[in-house]
């Protein structure tokens, strides 16, 4: 059940009234939300409901044990077991075939054959985000950041809540669980802003991302040899806009839907292509993943506490594993390694005397932005390409122009311009307009909502491709 | 970290929100009734959606009679032509 579909529109219209009608009965409301979330997940593949329930059960039981165990070694053991179970499930479904293939290739290169077979399992939707939420909960309980929940209902709902279930944002347990303790008050939320979040997300996904993908990016990446050097370069920039529009659309809709149901989700994007430096980029792009990787991987590895070399190693490890999280493919691993290397350089540069002397002037800021933006775009090539061979073909096409005329459709540049607008618009514009809408009453809200949705339906191509991050 | 959906509004009733949401969805269905008719038709193999399908066809007929559906179709065709494709 994709967000921009009639299926989800009807599902949400039904859920909205049902959930708010039970607002005075918090337990019943949470039970209904859990049932709705399970139904949402089952719409992809009901068999994987067991996975969702197993993840919830592991989190609940390990959380209780970690919270109750008085002696630290047992707490650490229970935590390790819980994390290993979560990662084991993820590893089995997502990485086992990849590592089997690498082992067989290595053995073949060394002159012998390994008697291994592939497991060939279907990758369950949302498995990575399930794992992030589950680990976040038990580690936060272990660290004493929150008490273990005595309510299995709360934990199952935290793991499976349908707005964040499939592709985030990653909502920390200490942010979400307290919201389940008491019924939400509609007065704590802006209807106008949440409606604009959802409609803006629909526009970014259905118009910008879909057109860029179908009209230009997908054909170029399927066979780069058919396209001119100019087209290949433009396809990289177009993909940068497409992936931003696609992924930020999903999380905007998720935040808006959660807000309309009375739950706060954290911000996930903050105009990332304005970043000055790779460190700044990762504070603006997929912010909930960045902070998750920082808190549950980079800092436990030692962070920046043990000197420059250890910091560089920790940055590289964090980003390589972050890259590999996106998929079991060398392209993702290299994408992570590229970002890790850039972070190491960025980290060293911003602590240097040269940066203190020249780094804050207007020219330096323009250079900083241009280097960051172009590096991020070039790295997207590894992220988007299906294999390293495909990356090689792409680079070969850019190096030796085939002389073909450009076939880039005219619609690409306006769409890229729309993407650019999202990066330079005043950050508080949506909140301000949302409050204005809140103060205008139902007629104005309905009129604005209808006009915007009408425009989106007029502009959108038929059908909708899945969100890019569904595969992760 | 900023929380974009945490604002103090004046429209604080979820029932007021529901009225707006349903109004927006109903108006959109009236403007583009074909999508819902096709969606219901695709899922009506067992006939258990016959009543909502009949209702959706009634909305479709009303929208066509008033010329609303044609405006939407024309605008989609115009937009598709303007961007140089046959998507609409």
Q: What is the DSSP string of A9-54?
A: HHHHHHHHHHHHHTTTSHHHHHHHHHHHHHHHHHHHHGGGHHHHHH
Residue after which a domain boundary falls, among A161, A183, A205: A183
Are A158 and A75 within one domain?
yes
Query: Is A316 within a domain?
Result: yes
CA A40 – CA A2 distance, rounded (Å):
10
Residues contacting residue A74 through CB under 8 Å, at least 6 positions apart: none
Are A124 and A21 within one domain?
yes
CA A169 – CA A255 distance, rounded (Å):
8
Residue A166: the pLDDT is 81
Query: Is A336 within a domain?
Result: yes
Are A55 and A155 within one domain?
yes
Residue A198: the pLDDT is 95
Q: pLDDT class for B2, splitting at 50, 70, 90?
A: very low
Query: Is B40 within a domain?
Result: yes
Residues A420-436, mean pLDDT to the nearest whole number: 87
Residue B14: enclosing H or E segment and its boundaries? helix B14-31
What is the percent of chain A where pLDDT is above 70? 97
Q: pLDDT class for A469, splitting at 50, 70, 90?
A: low
pLDDT at B8 over 50: no
pLDDT at A365 over 50: yes
Which residues does B contribute to its contact with A (CB < 8 Å)?
A: 1-25, 27-28, 31-32, 35-36, 39, 72, 75-76, 79, 83-85, 87-88
Residues A88-95, mean pLDDT to the nearest whole number: 83
pLDDT at A241 over 90: yes
Q: pLDDT class for A466, splitting at 50, 70, 90?
A: low
Instruction: Report the mean per-residue pLDDT for chain A.
Output: 88
Are A286 and A338 within one domain?
yes
Query: Is A218 within a domain?
Result: yes
CA A131 – CA A56 distance, rounded (Å):
10
Q: Do A190 and B8 touch (CB under 8 A)?
A: yes
Chain A residues with CB inside 8 Å of B83's CB? 211, 409-411
Are A306 and A225 within one domain?
yes
Residue A411: the pLDDT is 87
Give, in order, the Cα–Cα distances in Å from A426 to each of A87, A240, A241, A273, A435: 40, 21, 18, 14, 15
Query: Is A175 within a domain?
Result: yes
Residues B10-34, mean pLDDT to the nearest whole number: 88
Query: Is A464 within a domain?
Result: no
Under DSSP, is residue A158 helix (H, G, I), strand (E, B) or coil? helix
Are A178 and A207 within one domain?
no
Residues B18-38, mean pLDDT to the nearest whole number: 92
Helix %, strand %, coil % of chain B (to 5): 70, 0, 30
Residue after which a domain boundary falls, among A140, A162, A183: A183
pLDDT at A78 over 90: no
Query: Is B4 within a domain?
Result: no
Chain A residues with CB inside 8 Å of B74's CB? none
ipTM over 0.90: no
> What total of structural domains would you count in chain A?
2
Chain A, nearest residue to B70 by Cα: A458
Closest by Cα among A195, A210, A163, A189 to A3: A163
Query: Is A470 within a domain?
Result: no
Are A114 and A164 within one domain?
yes
Pick from A168-182, A335-349, A351-365: least confident: A351-365
Q: Tell me which residue range forms the domain holding A54.
A: 6-183
Residue A292: the pLDDT is 93
The full DSSP string for A286-307 is SHHHHHHHIIIIIHHHTTTSSH
Q: DSSP label at A110?
A: T
Q: What distance in Å separates residue A262's CA from the closest CA in chain B?
A: 9
Count CB-CB contacts under 10 A for residue A401: 13
CA A320 – CA A332 distance, rounded (Å):
8
Chain B, nearest residue to A441 by Cα: B11
Query: Is B79 within a domain?
Result: yes
Residue A279: the pLDDT is 93
CA A257 – CA A263 distance, rounded (Å):
9
pLDDT at B14 over 90: no
Under DSSP, is residue A405 helix (H, G, I), strand (E, B) or coil? coil
Residues A289-293, mean pLDDT to the nearest whole number: 93
In a 10 Å sphere around its CB, with 0-12 CB exposed, 13-18 middle and 19+ buried, how is residue B36 labelled? buried
Q: Tell me which residue range forms the domain holding B44.
A: 35-88
Chain B, nearest residue to A449 by Cα: B24
Residue A96: the pLDDT is 79
Q: pLDDT class for A467, splitting at 50, 70, 90?
A: low
Query: Is B14 within a domain?
Result: no
Chain B residues with CB inside 8 Å of A23's CB? 14
Q: In angstroms, how far is the first alpha carbon of chain A from the final one?
A: 16
- Known catalytic residue: A286? no
Hey, what are A414's tokens? 């306006």
Q: Do A193 and B4 touch (CB under 8 A)?
A: yes
Pick from A109-118, A119-128, A264-273, B2-11: least confident: B2-11
Is the bond into A169 cis (omega within 30 degrees of 0)?
yes
> What total of structural domains would you count in chain B?
1
Q: Do A442 and B13 touch (CB under 8 A)?
A: no
Residues A314-319, mean pLDDT to the nearest whole number: 93
Q: Do A445 and B20 touch (CB under 8 A)?
A: yes
Residue A305: the pLDDT is 86
Are A132 and A205 within one domain?
no
Residue after which a domain boundary falls, among A114, A148, A183: A183
Are A334 and A442 within one domain?
yes
Are A206 and A147 within one domain?
no
Are A376 and A275 within one domain?
yes
> Of the residues A164, A326, A339, A347, which is catalytic?
A326
Interface test with A, best of B2, B6, B16, B17 (most A CBs within 10 A): B17
pLDDT at A285 over 90: yes
CA A361 – CA A355 distance, rounded (Å):
10
Residue B87: the pLDDT is 47
Cβ contact A373:A273 at 8 Å? yes
Cβ contact A341:A399 at 8 Å? no
Are A75 and A161 within one domain?
yes
Q: Do A439 and B10 touch (CB under 8 A)?
A: yes
Residue A36: the pLDDT is 95
């Amino acid at each position: 059940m994709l967000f921009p579909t009639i299926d989800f529109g009807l599902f949400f219209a039904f859920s909205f009234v049902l959930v708010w009608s039970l607002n005075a009965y918090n337990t019943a409301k949470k039970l209904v939300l859990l049932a709705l979330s399970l139904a949402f997940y089952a719409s992809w593949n009901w068999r994987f409901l067991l996975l969702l329930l197993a993840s919830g059960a592991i989190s609940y039981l390990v959380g209780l044990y970690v919270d109750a165990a008085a002696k630290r070694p047992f707490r650490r053991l229970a935590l390790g077991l819980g994390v290993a179970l979560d990662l084991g499930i993820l590893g089995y479904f997502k990485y086992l075939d990849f590592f089997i293939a690498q082992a067989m290739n290595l053995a073949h290169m060394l002159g012998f054959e390994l008697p291994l077979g592939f497991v060939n399992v279907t990758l369950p939707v949302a498995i990575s985000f399930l794992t992030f939420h589950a680990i976040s909960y038990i580690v936060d309980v272990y660290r004493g950041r929150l008490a273990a929940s005595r309510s299995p209902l709360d934990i199952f709902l935290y793991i499976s809540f349908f707005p964040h279930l499939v592709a985030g944002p990653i909502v920390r347990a200490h942010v979400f669980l307290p919201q389940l303790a008491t019924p939400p008050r509609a007065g704590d939320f802006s209807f106008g802003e949440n409606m604009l979040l959802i409609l803006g997300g629909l526009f970014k996904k259905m118009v910008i991302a879909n057109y860029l993908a179908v009209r230009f990016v997908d054909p170029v990446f399927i066979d780069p040899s058919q396209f001119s050097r100019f087209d290949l370069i433009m396809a990289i920039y177009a993909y940068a806009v497409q992936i931003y529009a696609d992924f930020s659309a999903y999380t905007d809709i998720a935040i808006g839907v959660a807000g309309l149901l009375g739950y706060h989700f954290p911000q996930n994007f903050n105009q990332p292509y304005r970043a000055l430096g790779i460190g700044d980029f990762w504070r603006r792009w997929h912010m909930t993943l960045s902070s998750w990787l920082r808190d549950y991987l980079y800092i436990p590895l030692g962070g920046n506490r043990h000197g420059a070399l250890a910091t560089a190693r920790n940055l590289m490890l964090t980003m390589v594993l972050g890259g590999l999280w996106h998929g079991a493919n060398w392209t993702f691993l290299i994408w992570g390694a590229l970002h890790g290397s850039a972070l190491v350089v960025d980290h060293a540069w911003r602590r240097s005397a040269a940066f203190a002397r020249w780094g804050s002037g207007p020219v330096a800021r323009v250079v900083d932005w241009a280097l960051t933006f172009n590096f991020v775009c070039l790295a997207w090539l590894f992220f988007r390409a299906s294999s390293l061979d495909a990356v090689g073909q792409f680079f070969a096409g850019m190096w030796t122009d085939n002389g073909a005329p450009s076939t880039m459709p005219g619609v690409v540049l306006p769409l890229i311009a729309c993407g650019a607008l999202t990066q330079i618009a005043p950050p508080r514009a949506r909140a301000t307009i949302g409050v204005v809408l809140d103060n205008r009453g139902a007629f104005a809200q309905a009129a604005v909502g209808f006009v915007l949705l009408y425009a989106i339906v007029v502009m959108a191509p038929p059908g909708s491709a899945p969100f890019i991050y569904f595969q992760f | 970290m900023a929380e974009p959906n945490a604002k103090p509004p004046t429209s604080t009733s979820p029932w007021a929100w529901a009225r707006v949401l349903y109004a927006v969805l109903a108006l959109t269905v009236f403007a583009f009734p074909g999508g819902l008719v096709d969606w219901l038709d695709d899922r009506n193999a067992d006939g258990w959606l016959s009543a909502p399908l009949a209702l959706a066809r009634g909305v479709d007929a009303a929208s066509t009679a008033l010329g609303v559906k044609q405006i939407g179709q024309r605008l989609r065709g115009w937009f598709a032509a303007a961007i140089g494709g046959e998507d609409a």
